[in-house]
Amino acid sequence: MTWMITGGAGYIGAHVARVMAGAGEDVVVLDDMSSGVPRRLPADVPLIKGSALDGDLLRRVLAEHDVTGVVHLAARKQVGESVEQPLRYYRENVGGLTTLLEAVAEAGVRRFVFSSSAAVYGNPPDVDLVAEDTPCAPVSPYGETKLAGEWLVRAAGRAHGIATVCLRYFNVAGAAAPELADTGVFNVIPMVFDRLTRDEAPRVFGDTYPTADGTCVRDYIHVSDLAEAHLAAARRLAGGAEGDLTVNIGRGEGVSVRELVDLIGEVSGDRRPALVESARAGDAPRAVADARLAAEELGWTARRGVREMVESAWAGWCLHHPDAGRR
Ligand SMILES: NC(=O)c1ccc[n+]([C@@H]2O[C@H](COP(=O)([O-])OP(=O)(O)OC[C@H]3O[C@@H](n4cnc5c(N)ncnc54)[C@H](O)[C@@H]3O)[C@@H](O)[C@H]2O)c1
């Protein structure tokens, strides 16, 4: 079997490519390098520079590399940007997926893994754990493209006999090595790092939510665990599983923003108190995955805790920000 990993030079994709190649799978990466970094990939993983929007290129790569399964991570992922540029997000995330699925169906590829997101749930209702049958109600064009993507994957799978797995990632953090860390500042952990590095106190938005310490609670998943979930999904499909599966990928444990900021203080050595600002409109008090279906169906559970995520993310941040932690 050969797996084509789209977006494989990205933050998550490079971890997936390493884990799959390390487990003995043949992989080939297709990435347009819009935010990819080639040196994240092991030297023996072939990297093709090109877009998931280029149908001719996709057909050529699928044929030339005898691709038998696809892991599709390539996408734009910034929620705020998606509000400003919805047409671009639909074109790249949904249009790119349509073009890819056309090429996949035409080439007779029968296995497909799709990067979805907890953003499909929007602001989940006030439940302890968010299960896969929780109603999906995305609140951004980004989340909409992920939900539309799931529909497209399942419909194409049914029509063309492609076995599919959609993985709904919760809050991804950490790195397997400093050079593989996420370089963007779009999530709470790098945002706090960024504040500390600029000699500013971390910000906490709202501390009167109905949670134990009043701040929002989220489910953080180490990117190495997430990469292993992709391997488990690929192996399930390679083992002959049919039909479709949609699963949450999280730890099933909540961590509050306050706990996270305190942990970042310990790890970075910069324990300045956080500034509490007004709550942001639309932030759900709690969004924690019910992770049982992934355990049952993929035989996968997360192994790494939030301290390991923060420590490895901090090591990656310090590599790119030599001034960090010097104050
Ligand atoms: N990072 C998160 O917290 C998170 C959470 C949920 C879901 N996801 C999803 O995981 C996937 C990967 O995210 P990431 O954090 O690694 O982002 P990233 O930006 O680091 O990686 C995306 C990769 O895809 C490539 N790419 C983008 N558009 C492409 C196209 N049209 N053709 C080919 N390559 C293209 C980029 O160059 C980049 O290497 C995305 O689908 C994202 O929506 C991420």
55 C-alpha to center of ligand 1: Å?
A: 19
CB-CB neighbours of 267 under 10 Å: 18
What integer pLDDT is reported at residue 323 of this predicted model?
83
Which residue ranges make up each domain of the chain? 2-172+221-249, 173-219+252-288+303-320
Nearest CA to ligand 1 atom 13: 12
Q: Could you say which architecture CATH assigns to the domain 173-219+252-288+303-320?
A: Alpha-Beta Complex (3.90)
Q: Which atom of ligand 1 is nearest to the CA of 116?
A: 7
User: CA-to-CA distance for 126 and 287, rounded, in angstroms?
Assistant: 8
31 C-alpha to center of ligand 1: Å?
A: 10
Q: What is the mean pLDDT of each run of 10 residues along the chain (327 residues)?
A: 97 98 98 96 96 98 98 96 97 98 98 98 91 96 98 98 98 97 93 96 96 97 98 98 98 98 97 94 92 98 98 96 79
Pairing mode, if any, of strands 217-218 and 286-287? Answer: parallel
Residue 190 carries which side chain, given as an amino acid letter?
P
User: CA-to-CA distance for 41 and 2, rounded, in angstroms?
Assistant: 17
Contacts of 158 (CB under 8 A, 6+ apart): 244
Class of domain 2-172+221-249: alpha beta
302 contacts 231 by C-beta, under 8 angstroms = no
What integer pLDDT is reported at residue 126 of this predicted model?
81
Q: Which atom of ligand 1 is nearest to the CA of 172?
A: 3
What integer pLDDT is reported at residue 97 of this predicted model?
98
Candidates 321, 324, 309, 322; CA nearest to 15 is 309
314 C-alpha to center of ligand 1: Å?
A: 21
Q: List the alpha helices (DSSP H) in 3-54.
A: 11-22
What integer pLDDT is reported at residue 198 of this predicted model?
94
Q: Which atom of ligand 1 is nearest to the CA of 142?
A: 43
What integer pLDDT is reported at residue 322 of this predicted model?
87
75 C-alpha to center of ligand 1: Å?
A: 5
User: What pTM was computed for the model?
Assistant: 0.97
Residues with CB under 6 A from ligand 1: 6-7, 9-13, 30-36, 51-53, 73-75, 77, 92, 96, 115, 117, 169, 172, 187
Nearest CA to ligand 1 atom 25: 7
Q: List the alpha helices (DSSP H) in 23-78.
A: 55-64
Active site residues: 142
What integer pLDDT is reported at residue 327 of this predicted model?
59
What integer pLDDT is reported at residue 63 of this predicted model?
98
